[in-house]
């Protein structure tokens, strides 16, 4: 009888230990699943959506390029402009045709020449192609001027400074549209989304005030020379 009681007691203790082990495993498994779920949710929240990637994220105010300051000194009417609310261009088929036409016109009409060869100075000289020649800044300024004359809002046409694929300083024109940031570039005739250039974006003009520049410091995706921007059109 005593032996039987001991056996029963041992069995009871072993069963209790087994139950505790099972309960611990269940709690541990549930905790691990909860942690994975939280990590997955956090990852989804921190990863930008495809729509968000179409727009370059800008930071705070940064230095204004010397070339813009010099341009404003020589052409004050171009820079003494009112502060306006940010505006994006609606990317319609007609507006895309205008962008393509003006991009090609500037790229074909201007003869490429280095800043030093053109102006005899290493200091950046920004201007319109008064003599039909120029480097990247002249192309971008000219496109900006032609697009404004075509009715595009100034706030959507932003001079932008980047490092090109050779890590050289380069200036392009960013066009802010409702479908994303598009780039007009004298090195590529195709109009591309900013994140299909492969350039490292340094800074660009504020939409509200062209005399304020904002930092970007972001890589523009991987380079693509051919993109179907027309797919973005409604």
**30 shares its domain with 120:** no
- CA–CA gap between residue 136 and residue 142 (Å, rounded): 10
**38 shares its domain with 126:** no
**122 shares its domain with 178:** yes
- CA–CA gap between residue 146 and residue 103 (Å, rounded): 9
**4 shares its domain with 93:** no
Provide the CATH number for the domain around residue 132. 3.10.620
Q: Does residue 115 or residue 18 have the better pLDDT?
A: 115
Residue 227 has pLDDT above 90, yes or no: no
**117 shares its domain with 36:** no
Task: Name beta bridge partners: 89.
Answer: 177
**183 shares its domain with 218:** yes
Length of the chain: 234
Q: Is 173 exposed, middle or buried (0-12, 13-18, 19+ CB in 10 A)?
A: buried
SS3 content of the chain, % helix, strand, coil (to 5): 45, 25, 30
**217 shares its domain with 117:** yes
**175 shares its domain with 105:** yes
Q: What is the pLDDT of residues 76-112, one digit of tens each?
A: 999 999 999 999 999 999 999 999 999 999 999 999 9
- Average pLDDT along the chain: 85
pLDDT at 34: 54
Confidence grade of residue 48 (pLDDT, cut at 50, 70, 90): low
**85 shares its domain with 31:** no
Domain membership of residue 7 as a residue range? 1-47
Q: Is 177 exposed, middle or buried (0-12, 13-18, 19+ CB in 10 A)?
A: buried
**14 shares its domain with 82:** no
**How many structural domains is the chain composed of?**
2
Q: What is the pLDDT of residues 166-182, one digit of tens each?
A: 999 999 999 999 999 99
pTM: 0.78
Confidence grade of residue 50 (pLDDT, cut at 50, 70, 90): low
């Amino acid at each position: 009888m005593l032996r039987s009681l001991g056996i029963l007691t041992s069995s009871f203790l072993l069963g209790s230990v087994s139950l505790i082990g099972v309960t611990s495993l269940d709690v541990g498994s549930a905790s691990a699943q909860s942690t994975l779920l939280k990590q997955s949710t956090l990852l989804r929240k921190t990863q930008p959506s495809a729509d968000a990637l179409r727009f370059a994220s800008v930071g705070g105010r940064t230095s204004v390029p010397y070339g813009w300051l010099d341009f404003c000194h020589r052409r004050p009417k171009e820079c003494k402009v009112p502060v306006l609310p940010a505006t994006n261009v609606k990317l319609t088929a007609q507006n895309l045709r205008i962008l393509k036409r003006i991009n090609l016109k500037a790229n074909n009409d201007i003869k490429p020449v280095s800043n030093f060869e053109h102006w005899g100075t290493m200091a950046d000289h920004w201007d319109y192609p008064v003599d039909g020649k120029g480097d990247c800044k002249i192309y971008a300024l000219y496109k900006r001027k032609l697009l404004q004359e075509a009715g595009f809002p100034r706030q959507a046409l932003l001079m932008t400074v980047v490092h090109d694929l050779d890590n050289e300083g380069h200036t392009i024109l960013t066009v802010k549209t409702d479908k994303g940031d598009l780039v007009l570039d004298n090195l590529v005739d195709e109009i591309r989304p900013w994140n299909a250039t492969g350039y490292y974006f340094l800074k660009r003009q504020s939409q509200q005030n062209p005399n304020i520049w904002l930092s970007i410091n972001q890589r523009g995706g991987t380079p693509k020379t051919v993109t179907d921007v027309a797919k973005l059109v409604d």
